[in-house]
Amino acid sequence: MSRNNFFSVLKKEVDRIDQAKTSKRFEKIITGFTKEKSPKAIIGKEKYQVFNSNDYLGLRHNPLLKKAERQVSEIFGTGPGAVRFISGSLKIHRDLEKALAKFHKRDDAMVFSSSFAANLAVLYCLIAGQNKDSLVDNNVIVISDALNHRSIIDGIRVANLPKEQRTIFRHMDPAHLEEVLENNKKNYKRALVVTDGIFSMLGEYQKLKEIRAVVDKYAKEYENGVLLVVDDAHGVGIAGKTGRGVEEIEDVKADVLIGTFGKAFGADGGYVVANQTIIDYLRESAATYIYSNSVPPGTAGAALKAIELLDKSVGKKLLENSREKVIYFKKQMKTAGYLFAVDSSHPIQPVLIGDPIKTSDLVKKLFKKNIIVTNISFPVVPKGRDEIRVQISAVHTKGDIDQLVKAFAEEKNINSL
Ligand SMILES: Cc1ncc(COP(=O)(O)O)c(C=O)c1O
């Protein structure tokens, strides 16, 4: 096949995606933000209320984070210069890792360029050794929640396990997880259970306490135990009284916890926290840590500031504001006659619409009213459960939320005429 033939295949594939109406490349380009406490995005000549950002505490515009970012990049420069084991291990990276270990009450932490990169490497390393001399074998059954994030799915995929060693348990169903562990206990030396902490489409909290209990029950049934890995990208920094995530809500700990700075912490980059043995092993083997740059120093500085703020009065107030605003939004929407796909206290609020065309039309209508939200349809959610995902930030004002609810309510009235 000539190169041109291949290009024509690529073109047809893009056409196929466009025809299926699943294209993602027509991105809305934000050219700036207003200077308000609740910043609006500027697109073209208009200002838009952003109700689909993961910046749950509004920290990405926080002056203290910006200042920390500037100060740290003054010292270390704008990029890490090399990967960690060459000359890219800067004090700010270690300070951040120490702060993370303390924040999550673990022995140690590792910072990655993103939590996608963390998941790829951490899962691969926990599933299989990284070279032919490795003492870590892949005599393992991997059991993943059916609705886990793409980065978890890909982390399992790259390990290239035989199909029978990769399985799922029904979404948020600890009893099914137990069944899978029971059925496989004679077949494998160890098991790896992997789940999102909070599911990003609906804002559901995983039943971590029950999952932990099942994992512990089966620990002795497998020669090398059962390990629980949780990716709490949407939980860390926001969920729980002090923002420790789903672990705080459920009052249990994962063996390996993965998080991101790119959402509630308002910066960027991913991380893993665990006991010293696991972290030492990962530092020796995780490819996206060893062979790929860490976050830029300024970003690490902003992330460190976010962690520090969370335990101070500023952070506590933001967490409180977030909770209040979520309650306020839910109440107003219910009064306006809307239902939610799931009853969650997380800033991710899935407004149930139930029809793909109505959902995408409503999103377009809200955009015309200068409000940005996200439509979510099959296959991401089951047919008939189409939703508009609204994400509330601690810095949204009640006025912002009123404007959003008013826009929803106007469309409801039109539709029910
Ligand atoms: C559960 C989960 N894990 C990982 C990621 C990736 O985060 P990052 O941007 O840090 O790679 C996301 C982002 O959407 C996520 O929802």
pLDDT in tens, 26-39: 999 999 999 999 99
Please say whether the structural domain 29-51+313-416 has been given the CATH code 3.90.1150.10.
yes
CB 231 near ligand 1, within 6 Å: yes
Other CB atoms within 10 A of residue 298 CB: 24
Ligand 1 mean position, distance from CA 292 (Å)? 18
CB 259 near ligand 1, within 6 Å: no
* Distance separating alpha carbons of residues 222 and 185, to the nearest angstrom: 6
Sign of CA dihedral 365, 367, 370, 372: positive
What pLDDT score does 417 carry?
41
What pLDDT score does 118 carry?
98
- The tens digit of pLDDT for each residue in 199-256 reads 999 999 999 999 999 999 999 999 999 999 999 999 999 999 999 999 999 999 999 9
What average pLDDT score do residues 147-162 get? 97
CATH 3.40.640.10: which residues of the chain? 63-310
What average pLDDT score do residues 296-310 get? 98
* Distance separating alpha carbons of residues 41 and 24, to the nearest angstrom: 19
pLDDT tops 50 at residue 177 = yes
Tell how strand 226-231 and strand 256-260 pair up: parallel
pLDDT > 70 fraction of the chain, expressed in percent and rounded: 99
Identify the residue whose C-alpha is closest to ligand 1 atom 12: 233
pLDDT tops 70 at residue 414 = no
* Distance separating alpha carbons of residues 373 and 233, to the nearest angstrom: 20
Q: Could you give phi then psi for residue 213, rounded to 5 degrees?
A: -60, -40
Which of 81, 61, 83 shows the shortest CA–CA distance to 302? 61
Ligand 1 mean position, distance from CA 411 (Å)? 32
CB 288 near ligand 1, within 6 Å: no
Q: Are 291 and 86 in contact (CB under 8 A)?
A: no
CATH 3.90.1150.10: which residues of the chain? 29-51+313-416
CB 148 near ligand 1, within 6 Å: no
What pLDDT score does 305 carry?
98
CB 115 near ligand 1, within 6 Å: yes
- The tens digit of pLDDT for each residue in 40-65 reads 999 999 999 999 999 999 999 999 99
Ligand 1 mean position, distance from CA 402 (Å)? 29
* Distance separating alpha carbons of residues 153 and 123, to the nearest angstrom: 9
What average pLDDT score do residues 116-144 get? 97
pLDDT > 90 fraction of the chain, expressed in percent and rounded: 94
What pLDDT score does 382 carry?
87
pLDDT tops 80 at residue 160 = yes
CB 200 near ligand 1, within 6 Å: yes
DSSP 158: H
Residue 113, both tokens: 């360029």
* Distance separating alpha carbons of residues 19 and 134, to the nearest angstrom: 47
* Distance separating alpha carbons of residues 289 and 84, to the nearest angstrom: 7
Binned at pLDDT 50, 70 and 90, residue 193 comes out as very high
Structure pTM?
Answer: 0.96
CB 270 near ligand 1, within 6 Å: yes
Write the class of the CATH domain 63-310: alpha beta
CB 206 near ligand 1, within 6 Å: no
Ligand 1 mean position, distance from CA 222 (Å)? 30
Which residues contact residue 168 at a Cβ distance below 8 angstroms, ignoring those fewer than 6 apart? 143, 144, 145, 146
List the Cα angle 166/210/137 in 5-degree steps. 30
* Distance separating alpha carbons of residues 51 and 55, to the nearest angstrom: 10
* Distance separating alpha carbons of residues 198 and 260, to the nearest angstrom: 13
Ligand 1 mean position, distance from CA 260 (Å)? 7
Measured in residues, the chain has a length of 417
CB 234 near ligand 1, within 6 Å: yes
What pLDDT score does 186 carry?
95
Number of helices followed by number of strands (H, E) in the chain: 14, 17
